[in-house]
Amino acid sequence: MNELTDVALVEALRRQLTVAATKQAVSASNLANANTPGFKAKEVQFGDVLEKGLTESQPVATHPAHIGVPEATVGVREAQGLDPRRDGNTVELDRELLKMTEASGEFARAQTALTAKFRLVRYAINEGQ
């Protein structure tokens, strides 16, 4: 049985924040291109996120100043099963707004859990003084 350590918990919450932020960025990109002829809507693939979360170790930075890009660690692909409009665009406004709202909720939940975890650490440190 896997033991849930503080490090594993913080890492899981970090991944959740990254995935939620990526979902919001992808939906924002789709909305920004809603009137672009031929644009194909994109989405974050849950299977890719799950597989990478289970198999991927920490990314190796080639330089200390490098910052990871969320799309590099999360699967973003063209959305399937969407009917194109006459101009070939597959963006559906209602769908994208719903996805942004869901991602915002995911981000807020992970952020709340992370804040509570750090509040406990701060409490433990202050009680030792």
13, 100 Cβ separation under 8 angstroms: no
Q: What is the pTM for the complete model shown?
A: 0.72
24, 71 Cβ separation under 8 angstroms: no
23, 103 Cβ separation under 8 angstroms: yes
Give the orientation angle of helix 6-32 with respect to helix 93-127, to 10 degrees: 150
Letter for the amino acid at 16? Q
Pairing outcome for strands 76-78 and 42-44: antiparallel
Tokens encoding 41: 């809507």
Letter for the amino acid at 33? N
Tell me which DSSP letter residue 42 carries: E
| pLDDT tens-place string over residues 62-114 | 555 554 444 445 788 999 999 999 999 999 999 999 999 999 999 999 999 99
Tell me the domain boundaries of the chain: 6-59+68-127
Residue 3 has pLDDT above 90, yes or no: no
pLDDT value at residue 63: 52
CA–CA distance, 125 with 96 (Å, rounded to integer): 43
Tokens encoding 24: 């919001």
